[in-house]
Structure 1
Amino acid sequence: MRYALLLPDNRYLAACYEATGSGILITDKAEDACTYVTLEKALAVAQAVAPNMSQVPCVVEVNH
């Protein structure tokens, strides 16, 4: 089981490796989302990115 971060508008957080920007990408596809092995890590990331987002992400289980 893995965990992803989901925004209230049903979009997921993914990593963006561009030289500029926040490093956060928003995607409609669950398969493109960053995933975490532990619930604790997913919660820590959600807490870390929340100040930079206009929405607070929630942690959801994913099966991919």
Structure 2
Amino acid sequence: MKIKEYRLLKGYTQSEIANILNIKQSSYSNKELGRRDFTVEEIKILKELFKVTYEDLLN
């Protein structure tokens, strides 16, 4: 996933994204590292936040 790349490109910290997703920063970190999966709702939020397509976000 390119989520980390988009997060850095847009200037967000992991804590900021975790707050937007209403999860703990450690949970977000695990998801960004691929240790856990993002929920469909979280992916939808990130797509809108980063203004990218699902394909861009997930490929």
State the TM-score, normalized to the length of structure 2: 0.31
Structure with greater helix percent: 2
Greater fraction strand: 1
TM-score, with structure 1 as normaliser:
0.30
